[in-house]
A and B are shown apart, each in its own frame.
Chain A
Amino acid sequence: MISPAAAYRNLLLFVLPALAVYLVFAVLPLATSIVMSFFQTSGASGDVFVGLANYERLFTHPTISARFWNALLNNMQYFAIHLIVEVPMGLLLAALLTSGKLARSEGIYRTLLFIPATLSVVIVGFVWRLIINPLWGLVGFPLLGTESTALTTISLMSVWQYFGIPMVFLYSALLAVPNELVEAANIDGAGGWTTFWKIKFPLIAPQFGLIAILTYIWTFNGFDLVFALNGSAPGPNYSTDILGTYFYRTFFGSSGQLADLDLGSAVATVIFLTVLLVTAAYFWLIQRRLKSYSV
């Protein structure tokens, strides 16, 4: 028999490697950048503590703050499109895959549908840009060059790439629903529709909530597809600018613009808090109340 103390010691030993990596590569840089956002590091006199000055600049300077709110609103739209299109699409396909209607081709469909999620964003951006290119592609209308359609277009490309993730996530949740319950429902005369909404969906509601909040986290940390398609000043007229590209532009500068490391850190901190607070609120208010049934 191992004593409880030894068990805890062993436990700690097993956790330690992962914890060390996590601390050094995730927690430490995050803390450093939060600290940095309270400093002015570019002056000739070295690092000076400036309190909330960087944040004040971010929220009150007419141009800087206008671009920030624009990026935040665009990001909300980017998230909304993912939530409205990507997550329900994942649910629908997961339901189809587990319905038994596909019989033996289930595995093939599952694989085919998941493939886009394994592609590099650069490839996805490149291929879609060609498909909708007015010169060489299928669509004559400049979807990416028009302010009113550009962001939706990019969002849908991202949806196309990533709907496989909520799909497999919900697929595995649906597989865990016990067959007896479904059979019992069938015997009681429930059809496919009723069975799904009254039996299966309530059982996977916690996972559904989880994938929704993960989508929120992913879209608010989103960057790469927009950057691959439109660079770090995503036009036209900043209509496809999201928080990730806004941060990148501020922190790294460009050929003609200085890199503002302090303001960039402030932006990174604001993004972090936006994600953290909403996620925490979600877990506090909603996820706790979703009952997970055990059978």
Chain B
Amino acid sequence: MRSIRVSIPLAATLGVMFSSGVGAAFADPVTITLNSWRTEDIAVWQDTILPAFEAKHPDIKVEFAPINTNEYNAAVQSQIEGGAGGDLITCRPFDVNREWIKRGYFESLEGLPGLANFDKTSRAAWSGADDKTYCLPVAAVLAGFYYNADIFKELGLKVPTTSAEFIDVLTAIKKDGRYTPLAYGSAESWQLAYNGLYSIGPAYWKGEEGRLGLIDGKKKLTDPEFVDAIAAFEAWKPFLPSGQESLNYADMTQLFTLGKAAILPDGSWDINQATSTGLNVGVFGPPVPKAGDKRYLQEMPDMGIGINAKSAHKDAAKTFLDWVAGPEFQELYVNAAPGFFAMSSKPVTYKNKLAQDFADLKKGAELTPRLALDRLSAGTPPLDDETWRLLQVMFTKSDVTPQQVATELQAGLASWYGPQKK
């Protein structure tokens, strides 16, 4: 096919017609549907999670109905606004969901007993302007650095803890010449932000202090702590493989798994891929600016589940969510999908060793979500998109300084975001 068709409204209408039939199809037991963008999880839900739930609640059947990731937002929006959609809807974190709450898509979850297992920070990504929680936190992802332990041993390197040590390690690998220090490229701009700046940056802007400071207008992106963070990220440039401007995410992972690169800055969701060739892989967290500084770690709420306000089976949906809030589901899910982490305050054990190592990085570190996704991306231009774009410009052109990036980011944000306008 060479063209895209303009028939999406029709496709959406058909989608609504089909999905609206599902809820009422069985009288007893009640069938509820769960919409999700994780098409890759279909086996996990159908073979492991849902049978475990249905064994305890034979009167409720849950149908996992994933939608293609790229079309998820549009599909959910047009279905719900057409008065249909699944009974349970997987929630995007922060701004998208806040708008969905505002439009009345969800039933409030206040009063659900299982909600007590989650603290306020975990619920923040799915709270409305009224501070009520509308989606149950299901899983978060972390960002860090995978490293090839054999290369480290061969070159006699130690896992770096400070920014200076990090650069020393990279310099040593580069000097040796056999391996690429960082398996990292800038063809896919999202990961410059998510696995790069938002991972090492919190140590400079002090995690929540800097992030919330931007949100309430007390800080600006041109403040020294943000410029320093961007500069610390730019310092990676000499250690990237040649032609990095064209390398995409798959290329990076491949470079690392073939044993040709020492360090892969990446997210926890990539655990299975990063270890797919049986390398001896370890993980370390973002370095701190000076020895003895507080450690910060990016913990990004990834998905929650909410109840469609127009669902005909809210009680069944609540029963299901209450089960999702408990330890049985949390253990099942995080172990079936390594790289995803439970957000509940109850302890969870991870069977995957690297996942457990990742989870251990959380100890003693202040957790903070990705910088620009909460409120700062709810207007045009969204700060998150601008960060992707400008970091890519910085990494593909030689004459763009961290100061210029910060100035342009601030100008874009101040053009529409109230607290930053003055």
A contact residues vs B (CB 8 Å cutoff): 25-26, 28-30, 32-33, 36, 41-44, 61-64, 129, 132-136, 140-147, 162, 217-218, 221-224, 230-233, 235-238, 244, 247-248, 251-259, 261, 264-265, 268, 271-272
Select A29's contact among B5, B94, B242, B396, beta carbons within 8 Å. Answer: B5
Select B186's contact among A26, A41, A145, A257, beta carbons within 8 Å. Answer: A145
Q: Are B246 and A133 neighbours in the complex by a CB distance under 8 Å? A: yes
- The residue on B at minimum CB distance from A248 is B4
Assembled-state Cα–Cα distance A142/B243 (Å): 5
Q: How many Å from the CB of A218 to the closest CB on chain B?
A: 5
Select A62's contact among B9, B78, B81, B415, beta carbons within 8 Å. Answer: B415
**Known contacts A252-B74, A268-B6; A140 and B242 CB within 8 A of each other:** yes
- The residue on B at minimum CB distance from A243 is B4
Q: Are B396 and A258 neighbours in the complex by a CB distance under 8 Å? A: no
Assembled-state Cα–Cα distance A135/B384 (Å): 29
Q: How many Å from the CB of B51 to the closest CB on chain A?
A: 29
Q: Are B9 and A235 neighbours in the complex by a CB distance under 8 Å? A: no
Select A235's contact among B2, B244, B389, beta carbons within 8 Å. Answer: B389
Neighbouring A residues of B1 by C-beta, 8 Å: 224
Q: Are A29 and B241 neighbours in the complex by a CB distance under 8 Å? A: no
Select B96's contact among A218, A251, A253, beta carbons within 8 Å. Answer: A253
Q: Are B96 and A265 neighbours in the complex by a CB distance under 8 Å? A: no
**Known contacts A256-B384, A257-B382; A247 and B77 CB within 8 A of each other:** no
13 A-B contacts, Cβ less than 8 Å apart?
Answer: A25-B10, A29-B5, A29-B9, A32-B10, A64-B380, A134-B242, A145-B185, A221-B2, A233-B385, A236-B392, A256-B94, A256-B385, A268-B6
B164 interface residue per 8 A CB criterion:
no
Neighbouring B residues of A224 by C-beta, 8 Å: 1-2, 4
Assembled-state Cα–Cα distance A206/B104 (Å): 57
Neighbouring A residues of B384 by C-beta, 8 Å: 256-257
Neighbouring A residues of B2 by C-beta, 8 Å: 162, 218, 221-222, 224
Assembled-state Cα–Cα distance A231/B373 (Å): 20
Central interface residue in B71, B186, B245, by most chain A CB within 10 Å? B245
Neighbouring B residues of A248 by C-beta, 8 Å: 4
Q: Are A42 and B103 neighbours in the complex by a CB distance under 8 Å? A: yes
Select A256's contact among B6, B70, B95, B248, beta carbons within 8 Å. Answer: B95
Q: How many residues of B contact A (CB 8 A)?
A: 59
Neighbouring B residues of A236 by C-beta, 8 Å: 186-187, 189, 245, 392-393, 396
Neighbouring B residues of A36 by C-beta, 8 Å: 9
Assembled-state Cα–Cα distance A33/B78 (Å): 13
Assembled-state Cα–Cα distance A231/B99 (Å): 25
Q: How many Å from the CB of A178 to the closest CB on chain B?
A: 33
Assembled-state Cα–Cα distance A62/B13 (Å): 33
Assembled-state Cα–Cα distance A133/B70 (Å): 26
Q: Are A29 and B6 neighbours in the complex by a CB distance under 8 Å? A: yes
Assembled-state Cα–Cα distance A64/B380 (Å): 8
B65-93 interface with A by 8 A CB criterion: 69-71, 73-74, 77-78, 81, 92
Assembled-state Cα–Cα distance A26/B6 (Å): 8
Neighbouring B residues of A221 by C-beta, 8 Å: 2-4
Neighbouring B residues of A135 by C-beta, 8 Å: 241, 243, 247, 251, 255
Assembled-state Cα–Cα distance A258/B102 (Å): 13
B8 interface residue per 8 A CB criterion:
yes
Neighbouring A residues of B94 by C-beta, 8 Å: 256
Neighbouring B residues of A145 by C-beta, 8 Å: 185-187, 243-247, 396
**Known contacts A146-B396, A252-B73, A261-B74; A133 and B251 CB within 8 A of each other:** yes
Neighbouring A residues of B187 by C-beta, 8 Å: 144-145, 230, 235-236
Neighbouring B residues of A259 by C-beta, 8 Å: 73-74, 77
Central interface residue in B9, B95, B189, by most chain A CB within 10 Å? B9
B323 interface residue per 8 A CB criterion:
no
Neighbouring A residues of B7 by C-beta, 8 Å: 25-26, 29-30, 33
4 tightest Cβ-Cβ pairs between the two chains A and B: A134-B243, A145-B245, A221-B3, A29-B7
**Known contacts A29-B9, A257-B96; A44 and B246 CB within 8 A of each other:** no
**Known contacts A29-B10, A248-B4, A251-B8; A256 and B186 CB within 8 A of each other:** no
Q: Are B381 and A223 neighbours in the complex by a CB distance under 8 Å? A: no
- The residue on A at minimum CB distance from B8 is A251
Assembled-state Cα–Cα distance A125/B69 (Å): 21
- The residue on A at minimum CB distance from B380 is A63
Assembled-state Cα–Cα distance A100/B117 (Å): 80
Q: Are B73 and A272 neighbours in the complex by a CB distance under 8 Å? A: no
Q: Are B186 and A258 neighbours in the complex by a CB distance under 8 Å? A: no
